[in-house]
Structure 1
Amino acid sequence: MRTLVNALRLIAVIATASAILAQWLVSSRSPEYNPFNFFGYFTIQSNIVIAVALAVTLVVAFRSKREPLRLSVFRGAATVYIATTGVVYNTLLTGAAVENTVPWSNDVLHKWIPLYSVLDWLLFSDRGRLLLRHVWWFLIYPAVWLVVVLVRGATDGWVPYPFLNPSLGYGVVALYCLGVAVFIALMGVLVVGMSRLRIVKV
């Protein structure tokens, strides 16, 4: 079972890296390409984070070591972020028009990796039991990301997603931010609860 789980995680890491690279190769050819914009998307960042988390988990597994709690916290946070990417995209952004999008890459980053990551965390038992206080750690990165995006929106006018556009009014943007924050917190509580399940022993 451990071999199968490791193989699935390796495939997920390779798929994520390939999808990001494919989209970057297309986006970088655009005259409007800006690396700070490309890597400023929560989608790209959350996929990088989950890929790193799974890759580190693989290294620990190959060394036949038990996963340390700090890695479980990191992987739990990564699961929260990638799940947020999947839910937000498929509810708020599925009809948004984005230029130079690579269809298969878009599906991998917004649908398949979020789905796999949640199932991986839910099903496989090789993670530590998290505590509710860890949810606060999960919120730090999204909060910093939102602050940076809001500052950029107010200064150079760039925002990664339509619902964060200052032209909507900061009251509306604040409500969206609050909604995302609440969702992330609730997802964090769910991830903590999942960490106590032992469905498939690895």
Structure 2
Amino acid sequence: MRVATGSGSVKILFASLRAIAAVAIVVAIIGQYQHSASLGPVNPFNFFGYFTIQSNLIGAVAFGLSALVIFAGRAQPLWLVYLRALATVLLAIVGIVYNTLLTGAGLEGAFNVQWSNDILHIWIPIYAALDWLLFGDKAKLPFAKLWVMLIYPLVWLAVVLFRGATDGWVPYPFLDPATGYASVAVYCLLIAAVTILFGYAVYALSRVRMLKP
């Protein structure tokens, strides 16, 4: 199944904004990485292990590919709509969790470039939500496939927990085994529940088309 993107100025608007968002994400991540490297050696497995970084990279890929497909005048494949849905879910979680739980948490200097931090934790999550809500070039996603949204978060959690138990590195304090595995388990279940909740909202909004291409 493919989703037609239509033609005209609205189509160009969709593609242009997504291309800008993708570039902004890449620039923000490079800016933070370069700054971190200027302060000392950077372990790329740690830097790119953050949910924020990975979610934004998924968003950059989703927005960038969608923009390229539209500029090429082609219909969007269904898998790309699912990727955009996943990016929207992940970025919404990033924006809400960071700005409610992690602001000022001091994540080992991982997000200490203010403009980069604002792009990754505020502006891109806001854009992703508005893109999904307003732009009508998306298919109606079936709730029976809501489980697709859980694949990435569960894999990410598994890797983080493995690293926490072996080399002791965790990206966020609430996943630190030192706080007790019972506490970590609660947060893991909470992450899964929030992912399903946000996923349900994103699937429901796939039926809303305010700006049609």
Residue aligned with 1:40, SS? coil
**Other structure's SS at 1:29 match:** helix
One-letter amino acid of the counterpart of residue 198, structure 1: R
One-letter identity of the residue aligned with 1:179: L
5+ residue gaps, structure 2, are: 1-9
* CA apart distance, 1:32: 4.7
Q: Which amino acid aligns with 1:162?
A: P
TM alignment of 1:35-46, pairs within 5 A = 35-46=44-55
- Aligned position for 1:142: 153
Q: Which residue of structure 1 lines up, in the alignment, with residue 207 of structure 2?
A: 196
How far apart, CA to CA, are the structure 1 residues paired with 2:160 and 2:178?
A: 14
Contact 1:19 1:106 (8 Å CA) reproduced: yes
Q: Output the CA distance in 2 between the equivalents of 1:149 and 1:77.
A: 19
Q: Which residue of 2 aligns with 1:133?
A: 144
Question: Deviation at 1:169?
Answer: 0.4
Among the aligned pairs, what percent are the same residue? 52
Aligned to 1:69: 78
> 1:25 corresponds to which letter in structure 2?
Q
Question: 1:7 and 1:189 mapped to 2: Cα distance?
Answer: 27
Is 1:12 matched up with 2:21?
A: yes
Q: Secondary structure at the match of 1:133?
A: helix
Matches within 5 A, 1:89-168: 89-98=98-107, 99=109, 101-168=112-179
Question: Distance between the aligned counterparts of 2:144 and 2:152, measured in 1?
Answer: 15
Partner residue of 2:36 out of 27, 42, 46: 27
Q: Alpha-carbon deviations, 1:148-187, whole Å to 9, x = none?
A: 1011111111000011011110001111111111000010
With normalisation by structure 1, the TM-score equals: 0.96
Contact 2:25 2:119 in 1 (8 A): yes
The alignment's C-alpha RMSD in Å is: 1.2
Counterpart amino acid of residue 19 in structure 1: A
Q: Which runs of 5+ in 1 are unaligned?
A: none
